[in-house]
A and B are shown apart, each in its own frame.
Chain A
Amino acid sequence: MAKVLVVTSGKGGVGKTTSTAALGAALAQQGQKVVVVDFDVGLRNLDLIMGAERRVVFDLINVAQGVAKLSQALIRDKRLESLWLLPASQTRDKDALTDEGVRDIIADLRTKFDWVICDSPAGIERGATLAMRYADEAVIVANPEVSSVRDADRIVGMLDSKTVKAEKGEQLKKHVLITRYDTGRAARGEMLNIDDILEILAIPLLGIIPESQDVLKASNVGSPVTLNNAASMPAKAYIEAARRLTGETVAMVVPSEQRKGFMGRLLGRRAA
């Protein structure tokens, strides 16, 4: 039974695309057949994060409008056999996507994959509502920061009212994924901590992704962080989050920063 998962946040720049790529690759590594779908029409980036930007021929809009077949637009990952990408259009405007078009593509993808992961554009406009429209589950990506948490709450309201599942009166499963978390700063009261965010949003936690240079390194070379350096802290956290998505119970570990010496902390503080 295929699952359609939307990765959303409301706010931009919190790590939706990074998380889509990392979770998609982690699920594929666990033997699941996965497609990651870029819904950010006009500002596509998932192709770049996946390292497939030079292989894009057809896109989501072409398929929605019948210009290309789904099989022509799907790009297979070069590293993982069971990981595929459906890119967004870079040139068309976002109104080219229709509800019916998305419905048909998602229905088609459901027959071919175990996981359909929809990377939502930022905002609460048409692109974001279409990305979540046919989802069974949602991952809400949030940073430990007030505007991100507020927008996440707004998105929760939309997931509970504007999705097909919600309209049918069914429960859409929601998870919060906290990214760019700095355990040290949270412990010092400089940053919202996990308990604060969970209490405010009242949604179960999928994972805690630490702030890390490994995320930027992976995007620089066009590789999901879970593939680029599977032993890194963020990769481990994403891999565990992916296991939770498949229903496994994995103990939640709050990522701890590497201990710095006293002087290192003094100097590090200045940089921060």
Chain B
Amino acid sequence: MSMNLLNLLRRRTGSAPVARERLQILLAHERGLRSQPDLLDVLRAEILAVVSRHVVLDPEKVIVRMDRGKSVSTLEVDIELPNGFDKRMAVAS
């Protein structure tokens, strides 16, 4: 009975508004991906091609990540270079 009374008191703060907000954020993100499903792959391949022209690097160490926020989105490019990469390039050329 006490649980039922508690529920009655809580009735105006249901969980539906949370569901609605979570869905709106998620779907805004997923719709963005849908229109450009391979954008990240394309970016990654082209960034890799440009950097590889000047630096010897491991393709596995190139990480491209997109973070979509409500007002601003960020593109994060993380490239790990081996120590002494510039010397190696000098020898190669």
Which B residue sits closest to A145, measured CB to CB?
B19
A186 in the interface (beta carbon within 8 A): yes
Is the pair A269, B7 in contact by a Cβ cutoff of 8 Å?
A: yes
- With A146-B19, A146-B22, A200-B23 as known contacts, state yes or no: A189 contacts B31, CB within 8 Å: no
Shortest Cβ distance from residue A195 to the other chain B in the assembled complex, whole angstroms:
9
A70 close to chain B: CB less than 8 A: no
Residues in A with CB closer than 8 Å to B26 are: 150
Contact at A189–B27, with CB atoms within 8 Å?
Answer: no
Q: Which residue of A lies closest to B34 (CB)?
A: A157
Answer whether A189 and B23 are a contact pair too, CB < 8 Å, given A153-B31, A157-B31, A270-B4. Answer: no
Instruction: Assess whether B73 is interfacial by the CB under 8 Å rule.
Output: no
Question: What total count of A-B pairs have CB within 8 Å?
Answer: 46
B13 — which chain A residues lie within 8 A by C-beta? Answer: 189
Q: Closest CB of chain B to A129's CB: distance in Å? A: 15
Complex Cα–Cα for A192 and B30 (A): 20
A149 at the interface (CB under 8 A from B): yes
B15 and A266 within 8 A (CB): no
Complex contacts, A266 vs chain B, CB 8 Å: 4
* Chain A residue nearest to B20 in the complex (CB): A196
Interface 1/0 per residue, A154-183 and B, CB below 8 Å = 100100000000000000000000000000
Q: How far is the CB of A261 from chain B (nearest CB, A)?
A: 14
B1-21 CB contacts (< 8 Å) to partner A: 4, 7, 11-17, 19-20
Inter-chain contacts of B20 with A (CB < 8 A)? 192, 196, 200
Chain B residues with CB below 8 A from A192, complex form: 16, 19-20, 23
Given contacts A154-B30, A269-B7, contact A189 B24 (CB under 8 A): no
By the criterion CB–CB under 8 Å, are B16 and A193 in contact? yes
**B69-81 interface code vs A (CB 8 A; 1 in, 0 out):** 0000000000000
Query: Of B14, B15, B16, B23, which is within 8 A of A150 by CB?
Result: B23
CB distance from A61 to the nearest CB of B (A): 32
Would A188 and B23 count as touching, CB distance under 8 A?
no
The answer to the question of A100 belonging to the interface, with a C-beta cut-off of 8 Å to chain B, is no
B27 near A200 with CB under 8 A, answer yes
Known: A266-B4, A269-B4. 10 other contacts (CB 8 A): A146-B23, A149-B23, A186-B16, A188-B11, A189-B17, A192-B16, A196-B20, A200-B20, A200-B27, A269-B7
Please report B residues at the A interface, Cβ cutoff 8 Å. Answer: 4, 7, 11-17, 19-20, 22-24, 26-27, 30-31, 34
| A–B Cβ pairs within 8 angstroms, 22 of them | A145-B19, A150-B23, A150-B27, A153-B30, A154-B30, A157-B31, A157-B34, A186-B16, A188-B14, A189-B11, A190-B14, A190-B16, A192-B19, A192-B20, A192-B23, A193-B16, A196-B19, A196-B20, A200-B23, A266-B4, A269-B7, A270-B4
